[in-house]
Amino acid sequence: MSSDSESSDVLSWRRYLHQNPELSFKEIETSRFIESTLQGFGVRTWRLAPTGVIAEIGTGGPIIALRADIDALPVDEATGTPYASANFGVMHACGHDAHAAMLLAAAKSLSVRPPATGRVRLVFQAAEELPPGGAQQLVEAGLLEDVSMVFGIHVQSGLPVGMAAVGPGPVTANSDRFEILLHGSAGHAALPHQARDAIVMAGHLILALQTIVSRSVDPMSPAAVSIGQVEAGRAPNIIADRARLAGTVRSLQAPTQAIVEQRIRDLAQTTATAFGGSAEVRYMRGYPGVENALLPSGLFAQAARDVLGEDSVQGALTQLAGEDFGHYTRRVPGAFLYLGSGSEGRDFPHHHPRFDLDERALDYGVQVWLRLVDLALDRLAAPGPT
């Protein structure tokens, strides 16, 4: 397993980052810290997007990419730990501090024992938490053009420490947003026949939208349509001429995503028309779902079994959460692994003010990274289909 210095490095880096969280696209000190730490052990680094740090170890090809996200959330930390956020109102409440620390520790090890063949590209990615996210910029800048496989680890408080989950197929959802503006015409509340009530349109439309998942989507294909905001009206005695609905759509499969978008558009138009009004629909596709490919997820599962034990690795943990790692798996074969970080008192949900992790997960994560690098570069160097 790991040496003592590796363990103390990853722990102190994680706590340093935890205490100094920065919001998405504003990871100024975080990226400086990552850069100078990497340079401290002789690793070459460069910037892609202002706060993304890329590093590379090894020579020639093939190349695999390992990704850690580095941003924090607008959450008021309530853990009471000695390493709690010193930047009140901002918190590493999703474990991205752990991701960055684990990848730094893996980089330190690899800098001493670089891979015999091929290269490891380390991706410290900004802004996973805030759409449009940092991944898309990196992909557009050509980050993956010469990369054969891409991998990501996310700690998971709902999974006990010492466990991991990875397998082929969907891991997270396509996560989209929509906004509907309903237009009617205003009037006196006592003279409804002279107006076109946008609130009544909204009421019917809210119920109609509930039928998309239950009546239009294949029950074997998961999806969620949720309206999170409704705004209309200015006074009890005025009929509203305008209503605004905004919501979120999650889906795992592209055909389902397309059906949901089309049904939202159709229902908004026809409902508004039925009540004498009109609708404007804005549908914004967000992070694509993370889709684990067969070979990379097999290699990741093997690495996790080698480190954690045969019975400690379960299949894919699919959630309708959003994760911009989907931009990577859409481009090259890849896999995303959930690393258990939960234990009693350390199992608050991600994004909760008391979220924390069982820090034993840190060492496991570093070891899984190192084992994966060996397995993946060996496999890519071997003849035969990939």
Q: Which residues pair with 281 in a beta bridge?
A: 180
Our CB check for Ni ion shows the closer of 94 and 212 to be 94
**Distance, CA of 248 to CA of 227 (rounded, Å):** 6
By the 8 A CB rule, do 145 and 224 touch?
A: no
CA–CA separation, 104 vs 191, rounded Å? 68
Q: Where are the alpha helices (DSSP H) in the chain?
A: 4-19, 28-40, 96-112, 135-140, 198-211, 254-274, 294-308, 326-329, 360-381
When the beta carbons of 94 and 208 are compared against Ni ion, the nearer one is 94
> Among all chains, which residue has been given the structure tokens 């905001």?
229
Nearer to Ni ion, 94 or 377 (CB): 94
Q: Between 165 and 225, whose beta carbon lies closer to Ni ion?
A: 165
Within 8 A by CB and 6+ apart from 254, the residues are: 174
Q: What is the closest distance, in whole angstroms, from the C-beta atom of residue 128 to Ni ion in the complex?
A: 6
In 219-265 the beta strands, taken as DSSP E runs, fall at 223-232, 238-239, 242-251
User: Smallest gap, in angstroms, from Cβ of residue 95 to Ni ion?
Assistant: 6
Contact 351, 96 (CB under 8 A): no
The distance of closest approach from Cβ of residue 384 to Ni ion in the complex, given in angstroms and rounded to an integer, is 35
Question: Toward Ni ion, which CB reaches closer, 94 or 295?
Answer: 94
CB 100 → Ni ion: shortest distance, Å? 12
Residues that bind Ni ion (CB under 5 A): 94
In the bound complex, which residue of the shown chain has the CB atom lying closest to Ni ion? 94
CB of 36 to Ni ion, least distance (A): 24
Q: Which amino acid is at 19?
A: Q
CA–CA dist 70, 173 (Å, integer)? 21
User: Could you tell me the smallest distance in angstroms from the CB atom of residue 81 to Ni ion?
Assistant: 19
DSSP string, 18-61: HHS--BTT--HHHHHHHHHHHHHTT-EEEEETTTEEEEEEEESS
Q: How far is the CB of 20 from Ni ion (least distance, A)?
A: 18
Q: 240 or 290, CB closer to Ni ion?
A: 290
| Closer by beta carbon to Ni ion, 103 or else 264 | 103
